[in-house]
Each structure stands twice: as structure tokens, then as C-alpha cells.
Amino acid sequence: MKIVVLAGGLSPERNVSRSSGTKIAEALRSLGHQAALVDLFFGLEDYPGLTGEELYAAPVPESWRQVDRTAPDLSAVRASRRWEGKGDFGPGVLELCQGADIVFLALHGQCGEDGRIQAAFDLLDIPYTGSGYLGSAIAMDKDMTKRLVAERVDTPAWSCAEYTEKDVDRLTSKTPVPCVVKPVDSGSSIGVSIAHDRKELHEALTDGLRFGGRCVLERYVSGREIQVGVLDGKALPAIEIIPKTGFYDYENKYQPGAAEEVCPAPITPEQAADVARRAEAVYEALGLTVYSRADFILDGEGTFWFLEINTLPGMTPTSLMPQEAAAVGIDYPTLCQRIIDSSLRQRRKP
């Protein structure tokens, strides 16, 4: 098959996405597919002198493998594109995707995981991997997700705030602490802060203005970090994340050795079945398809608290979904093939 692996883009997670895309493209080529790895925003600009067909044999960029310790400066990314066209699709991207058998979405976060790319591809009749536009859009919005699943699973009490600098003092005074401050539509823990007191809450809200000033203020639940992948509607073995310092933030997610990851998670069979049921319930409630990964906290009383769900889970060398699949005998290339096969079945539905 001819497969375009679409990565990068203008999300704060673009470097994570490019690392995922590199590993996916190499896995697909190992299976005998033709795989062209392209940055959504830069398009063919990254491959001067190559035609679209030649991209299927182009070497993957070595610089894409490693995820930097900090998220990229998106204003600098925008300024570095030489092409003067507008929009998020770089030169030649749509034409390349239209000529492929399927597009493997290795995109993460805004402009990739939020449904907009999926909607554009639906209109252009371009097959792609993962959930459709509606489930993707809902799952990207942490407030909307929690509203839809709160009657099915336990989720920490929360409020959603849209604010400017003049509102920070008011929100600081009225919000119970400790709490977690999260941008409403970001991933990879970018912009996430745990505020143990009002001073830390004020700092977190001020920092949150960088991400648009719309956030979820969620009751802090202390416990073990448990995450569950879902493949074709069925939960994979849970994985426990044990950061060596702090919480499971951007750096601890993507720097090798920064966190211990135990799969299957050391929980009882009853707990494993419980958290699997919850992950599947969220997947179903949001109308997701193909695959996802849900994040939970297991508190000291034995309750799993749902935090959020990812519709395009990371596929980097340190990502969790591939580790969970491996625990049931699905190696990385096979996982990629399963995702493609399932996605094609979904896209072919009348």
C-alpha cells in the first residue's frame, strides 16, 4: 500500500508527533508498504527537489527521532516556513494524501487530534487512521469529555474557566485547592500544573494565559497513574507510570528513563477488569473508533478516577500504547497494521 504518514503540524506536540511519525514510517516500510513521512505544516518544503512519488523512498529525517525536553516555540515554527501559502496544510500535502491508499495520522494535539484534519479528509474522501471528526473533537475538549462521561465513570470534580489576566485573582480566590490546572484542549501534559496552594494556583493560571486562557480546574486526586489503551473497542492491559521526579509531565513522558513504566500494571485482576471496563465505557460514550488511550488515577480507596482520553496516542519509542499492545503479543509493526486495517473498515462504512 501507499501510505502517507502525516506528522508535525502546528501543535505544541509537533516534536512528539514527528517522533511518532518516524517510528510509524519505518515500521510500515518493514512490512513492505511504501510510506512517505511528511510534516503537515511544511509539506514538500522539507524535501526540496523530490517529487511526491519519490517521497515514498526518502530517508526519514534523523532529527525527528528525539523529542526535545521542552515544547517548541510555535511562532518560530510559523516564521520558518518559506512557502507563503496560508493555512495549516503545507505545499503539496493534500495532493500527496489524495494519491495515497490511506493517511496514517501521527499527529498529536491541536490541529491533528481535534477533528479538523479528519473533517477535511472526509470532505475530500481521503481515508485516514483513527476516530472520525466528531469523536476526535469531543475527546480533545477536556470539559466536554467529562460532561459526557461523568455519569458512566468516576471523574474528579471540575470547572471550566475562560479568563483573561484581570480574572486571575478572582479565580485564585474562589477555586478550591489543591487542584490541577489544564488547558482545555492540549495534550502531552503541556501547560498542566498541580497547584497545592493559592500561590501556586495564581502562578498556574497566569501561565495558562499562554495557552489561550481557557482551562479545566480539576480537583487533585492523589494516587497511582494508570493508563489503558483500547484497540478495536477492547481494552489492552493497563500500564502504571511511576515518574522518578514530579508528575508525568512533558519531559517525563518523552525522555528515556525519566519514568518507570510497568505493564501489565501491578493491580489485582478485579481492578484490571474494572479499569478496562471504564476505558471501554469512555471510548464508547464518545463514539471513538480504532484506538485510544485513557488516563486514570487509582486512589488509596481503590477507585479509578478518569482524567482524559487521547484519540491518537503517542507512538514514540517511549510511548505507552505500543507497550500495552506488546504485553498481549502485538509487536509495533503489527500494531500499525492493525490500526490501518481497522481504519479502512471504518472508512468503508456506508
Taking the CA atoms of residue 231, residue 235, residue 241 and residue 247 in that order, the dihedral angle to the nearest 10 degrees is 80
Computed on alpha carbons and rounded to an integer, the radius of gyration of the chain in Å comes to: 20
**C-beta neighbour count of 177 within 10 angstroms:** 16
* C-alpha cell belonging to residue 209: 494565559
Q: Which residues of 97-110 are buried (b: 16+ CB within 10 A; e: fewer)?
A: beebebbbbbbbbb
Calpha distance 37→58 (Å, rounded)? 8
What are 297-324's pLDDT values in tens digits?
Answer: 999 999 999 999 999 999 988 889 999 9
* C-alpha cell belonging to residue 79: 516564521
Closest CA to 88 of 52, 69, 114: 114
What are 89-114's pLDDT values in tens digits?
Answer: 999 999 999 999 999 999 998 888 99
In this prediction the pTM is 0.90
**C-beta neighbour count of 27 within 10 angstroms:** 22
pLDDT of residue 203: 92
Closest CA to 308 of 143, 191, 108, 137: 143
What are 65-98's pLDDT values in tens digits?
Answer: 888 777 788 889 999 999 988 889 999 999 999 9
Task: Grade residue 190 by pLDDT with cuts at 50, 70 and 90.
Answer: low
What are 244-299's pLDDT values in tens digits?
Answer: 765 444 444 444 556 789 999 999 999 999 999 999 999 999 999 999 999 999 99
